[in-house]
């Protein structure tokens, strides 16, 4: 059979979206043009000293708004061109009124898009021409029949320009502030996502490494005893079943954080030091005799800190099973004022690798301790064995449900 290729399906952009984006600048330009023409026509009835509007005057009133169509792609050119058209309108002596709206819109657009220099140069050139027309140029050069510039008019023009400048700068500052806040929120969202990903990676590593290590050891025992001592092999298989069931439940609880909105929340509480006896029993089924020693008076732990302490002990015992020939281990809980000192040690010697491991497990234990302001040290104890010692502060308590 020949090669059958599926026809490519063209990706179509909705016509309404494209028309909306393309039509908004044109619609805004039309609105500004109508405002300038209609407003200036009405205002011209009370300005007998100005040149009446003619075809050239109306053309200038429409040309400025028409140039606003280019303000998104060419803001610097637009503000310069609109300012020039408005300046020509002013020099021609046509009536005052809303004939300057197009220049204001162009100025705002240029400032908002980062072309502040072009906007200020254009506005400065316009104001300079205003001063020349009002005070410097000979009357014979002007089309208006007379020139009488009152102080209040000059003050009004200056105040109007300053108001436009201040409004544009405030709008620019507000826009930059909003952009900075959104960038900070996006960065925080990405950081929380990374932290959640690392948290789940640590949880899955600790759960699976411990459970699979126990299952591996018990499976080896069951194979050796299956023919000669089937009753003991049955005990090993029972341990495998219980361990795998518990691991499956904890994995489901961790993956429950990825559930969709509306799904049921995990009903099983996160493990803590109150389940230390279960951990010791599991290690005993795997052939590791664990002795637990406690010093001081136990203090209440938050769910997050309790889980971190439990995972540290779990990972340390898993490393003993995987990397040490010792069949005994000691867990010490020293409750001190404002601090829990947790130590897991085995007499060694190491078997088939480093006693404490040097991979993800050790990194995960240190991250768990550091997340609550604690420290963790791991290394040889000087007598051929290996120990892991974590110092976890008890105050302030971590928020309920928080995990490292």
Give the pLDDT of residue 1.
43
CB atoms within 10 A of CB 184: 10
Contact in structure between 36 and 77 (CB atoms under 8 Å) = no
Contact in structure between 236 and 222 (CB atoms under 8 Å) = yes
Using alpha carbons, select from 249, 251, 225 the residue that is nearest to residue 238: 225
62 pLDDT band, cuts 50/70/90, is very high
Compute CA distances 111 → 27, 68, 71, 121, whole Å: 21, 14, 11, 12
Token pair, residue 299, equals 């203090």
How many alpha carbons fall within 13 Å on the CB side of residue 372? 33
pLDDT tens per residue across span 30-39: 999 999 899 9
Q: Model pTM? A: 0.45
Q: Which spans in 259-391 are helix H? A: 276-285, 303-323, 360-371
Helices and strands per DSSP (H, E), number in the chain: 10, 5
Task: Name which residue leads in pLDDT, 107 or 143.
Answer: 107
Phi first, then psi, for residue 168 (nearest 5°) are -65, -40
- The packing angle between helices 75-91 and 116-131, to 10°, is 10
Query: Picking from 113-117, 121-125, 164-168, which range would have the lowest pLDDT averaged per residue?
Result: 164-168
Compute the radius of gyration of the chain from its Cα atoms.
39
* Distance separating alpha carbons of residues 222 and 312, to the nearest angstrom: 28
Phi first, then psi, for residue 341 (nearest 5°) are -105, 115
* Distance separating alpha carbons of residues 149 and 147, to the nearest angstrom: 6
- Length reported for the chain: 404
Handedness of CA 377, 380, 383, 388 (dihedral sign): positive
The arithmetic mean of pLDDT across residues 178-202, rounded, is 80
pLDDT tens per residue across span 252-280: 666 665 555 544 545 556 678 888 888 88
- The packing angle between helices 55-67 and 15-43, to 10°, is 150
* Distance separating alpha carbons of residues 351 and 322, to the nearest angstrom: 8
Summarize the chain as % helix, strand, coil (round to 5): 65, 10, 25
Say if residue 51's pLDDT is above 80. yes
Give the pLDDT of residue 59.
93
Pairing of strands 328-336, 289-295: parallel
The arithmetic mean of pLDDT across residues 9-28, rounded, is 56
* Distance separating alpha carbons of residues 269 and 281, to the nearest angstrom: 20
Say if residue 136's pLDDT is above 50. yes
Q: Which spans in 226-340 are helix H? A: 230-255, 276-285, 303-323
Query: Picking from 201-210, 313-322, 370-379, which range would have the lowest pLDDT averaged per residue?
Result: 201-210
């Amino acid at each position: 059979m020949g090669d059958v290729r599926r026809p490519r399906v063209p990706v179509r952009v909705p016509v309404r979206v494209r028309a909306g984006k393309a039509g908004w600048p044109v619609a805004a330009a039309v609105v500004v043009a109508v405002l300038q023409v209609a407003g200036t026509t009405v205002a011209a009835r009370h300005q007998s000293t100005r040149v009446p509007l003619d075809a050239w005057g109306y053309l200038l009133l429409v040309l400025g708004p028409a140039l606003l169509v280019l303000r998104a792609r060419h803001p610097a050119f637009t503000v310069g061109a609109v300012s020039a058209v408005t300046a020509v309108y002013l020099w021609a002596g046509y009536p005052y009124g809303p004939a300057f709206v197009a220049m204001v819109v162009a100025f705002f657009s240029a400032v908002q898009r980062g072309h502040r220099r072009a906007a200020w140069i254009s506005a400065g050139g316009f104001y300079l021409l205003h001063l020349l027309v009002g005070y410097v140029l000979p009357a014979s050069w002007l089309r208006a029949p007379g020139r009488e510039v009152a102080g209040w008019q000059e003050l009004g023009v200056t105040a109007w320009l300053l108001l436009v400048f201040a409004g544009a700068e405030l709008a620019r500052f507000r826009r930059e502030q909003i952009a900075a806040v959104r960038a900070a929120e996006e960065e925080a969202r990405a950081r929380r996502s990374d932290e959640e990903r690392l948290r789940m990676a640590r949880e899955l590593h600790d759960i699976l490494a411990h459970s699979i290590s126990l299952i591996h050891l018990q499976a080896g025992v069951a194979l050796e005893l299956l023919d000669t001592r089937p009753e003991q092999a049955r005990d090993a298989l029972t341990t495998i079943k219980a361990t795998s069931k518990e691991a499956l439940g904890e994995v489901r609880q961790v993956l429950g954080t990825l559930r969709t909105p509306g799904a049921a929340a995990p009903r099983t509480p996160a493990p803590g030091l109150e389940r230390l006896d279960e951990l010791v029993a599991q290690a005993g089924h795997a052939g590791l005799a664990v002795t637990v020693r406690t010093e001081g008076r136990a203090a209440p732990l938050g769910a997050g800190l309790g889980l971190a302490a439990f995972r540290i002990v779990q990972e340390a015992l898993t490393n003993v099973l995987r990397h040490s020939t010792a069949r005994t281990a000691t867990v010490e809980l020293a409750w001190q004022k404002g601090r829990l000192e947790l130590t897991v040690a085995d007499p060694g010697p190491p078997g088939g690798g480093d006693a404490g491991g040097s991979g993800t497990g050790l990194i995960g234990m240190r991250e768990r301790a550091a997340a609550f302001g604690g420290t963790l040290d791991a290394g040889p104890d000087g007598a051929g064995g290996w120990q892991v010692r974590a110092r976890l502060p008890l105050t302030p308590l971590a928020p309920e449900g928080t995990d490292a």
